[in-house]
Amino acid sequence: MRSSGAAWRSSVGSRRAATAARSRRNNEGPHMRLGSRRVIAAAVTIMLATASGMGRLLAQRGRAAAPTKPIMVEDVFKNVQALKGIGVDDFLLTMGIMSAAVGSDCVGCHPSAGTDHVDWALDTPRKRTARRMVQMVTAINRDTFNGRQVVTCWTCHRGRDRPVTTPTLDVVYGPPADDSDDVLTQARGVPSVDQVLDKYLQAIGGARNVARVTSFVATGTSVGYRGFGGGGVVEVSAQAPDKRATHISFPEYPDRGVSVRTYDGRTGWIATPLAVVPKYELAGSERDGARLDAMLSFPAQIKQALTNVRVGPPTTIGDQDVTVLQGNGPNGTLATLYLDDRSGLLVRMVRHGRSPIGRVPTQVDYSDYRDVGGIKFPFHWTFAWLDGRDNFEFSDVKLNVPIDAVKFGEPNVAPAPAKVAR
């Protein structure tokens, strides 16, 4: 089935040692830097915000049952110049991709970020430079690529504050880079979409059994990542076709508040403790991502959740050979599924949100599949996003249980005391 892809697979195999070495270096370098950013995750969430402005706007919006006009960034945040006209959630995504691109964190542009003594709206040399870079990238894409987002901050910076202008000979004569394109094209000599999905459904219990699952509640713990975070009690609830909620509480540390992410089929919310913006409604790319997450919680719905589905070239994750399936979710949200060749099980999902300066990845790895009522369910989830990583280890999963609709609505939590923006 992969005759024409055999040479490609061989090339991947010959690069595994180099890839593993790079992975080890990454875990000690940039990825650890991202992990350490968890301590300022709240700061990312409140970039340039004022508590009073957000509070007034949320009060005006009330508890609308359906998505309303999104709150624009300039309605909430101070001194926004180059990124006007986008929603609050997309603005926060943009801050994340900008931070990742230059290998920094909030402090790089906002002195004293993560403390009670930060002036988010203060102009600094780096902020002024960042604005010019946003305008430059926008102009390049507009004038050279007909408005398509081809050039981004990451294109040149790749985790450095200053782009590398000269290649080293070690790079020139070393193993080729393993970075794949965001958007994949249909590969030759690979299984069809139906074959890949049929194998997956069969691996987790059979299409009929999987289709009978209309809800689940998974409970366990958040164990953090390599010493950062953790200590939380996690509950993930999902109701077909498109409702999902994640609650993380800290019974032993109540001052850490409760983190909540919900989507009720129309509206999504995020509640984040220890932030000036303690709660906000999803209105842009993040809402599309929340809807996609909810729909993909039920594998029988993959064909309904994704359009323009194609099978990309085979690749590897660690020592696993995987088949890559890619499609478009709500409003074109790019979603890529990685399925183990041997078992057929889903081992990774990556979705890309939109921002004015590049796609924003969210990645979830799945492992430790166990039988629950005749269905195989992953009991270990590893999340990776631009401000950190986390691991969920579930101890109990219940299928087809009633779930109160309130669970998926606007979070009704008492946020921890917010930091005051000055």
Give the tens place of pLDDT for each residue, 11-21: 333 333 333 43
Are 235 and 217 contacting, i.e. CB atoms less than 8 angstroms apart?
Answer: yes
On the question of pLDDT at 185 being above 50, the answer is yes
Distance CA 121, CA 89 (A): 18
Are 46 and 421 contacting, i.e. CB atoms less than 8 angstroms apart?
Answer: yes
Q: Token pair of 399, please?
A: 């299928």
Note the residue count of the chain: 422
Q: What is the structure's pLDDT at 36? A: 38
Q: Coil, strand or helix: which one is 326?
A: strand
Give the ranges where 205-351 is alpha helix by DSSP (H): 207-211, 285-296, 302-305
Between 2 and 197, residue with greater pLDDT: 197
Residues 293-324: tens digit of each pLDDT: 999 999 999 999 999 999 999 999 999 999 99
Q: Token pair of 311, please?
A: 């099978």
DSSP 8-state assignment for residue 255: G
Average pLDDT score over residue span 246-255: 89
On the question of pLDDT at 64 being above 80, the answer is no
Q: Which residue has the tokens 């960042």?
A: 130
Ranking 44-48, 52-56, 150-154, 251-255 by mean pLDDT, the lowest is 44-48
Q: What is the structure's pLDDT at 70? A: 64
Distance CA 340, CA 320 (A): 7
Residues 347-376: tens digit of each pLDDT: 999 999 888 898 999 999 999 999 999 999
Average pLDDT score over residue span 119-124: 84
Cα within 13 Å of Cα(284), Cβ side? 21
Q: What is the structure's pLDDT at 303? A: 93
Residues 207-235: tens digit of each pLDDT: 999 999 999 999 999 987 766 667 899 99
- pLDDT tier at 200 (50, 70, 90 boundaries)? very high
Q: What is the structure's pLDDT at 111? A: 83
> Which DSSP string do the residues of 263-289 spell out, in sequence order?
E-SS-EEEE-SSSSS-EEEE-SHHHHH
Find the helix or strand (DSSP H, E) in which 50 lies. none
Cis amide bond preceding 314, omega within 30: no
On the question of pLDDT at 94 being above 50, the answer is yes
Among left, alpha and beta (phi > 0; psi -120 to 50; other), residue 326 is: beta
Domains and CATH numbers, the chain: 3-173 (1.10.468), 193-408 (2.50.20.10)
122 Cβ contact list (under 8 Å, min separation 6) = 79, 110, 111
Are 263 and 245 contacting, i.e. CB atoms less than 8 angstroms apart?
Answer: yes
Mean pLDDT of the chain: 82
Give the ranges where 29-71 is alpha helix by DSSP (H): 30-36, 41-45, 51-61
Q: What is the structure's pLDDT at 280? A: 84
Q: Coil, strand or helix: which one is 419?
A: coil
Instruction: Return the bridge partners of 393, or none.
Output: 221, 380
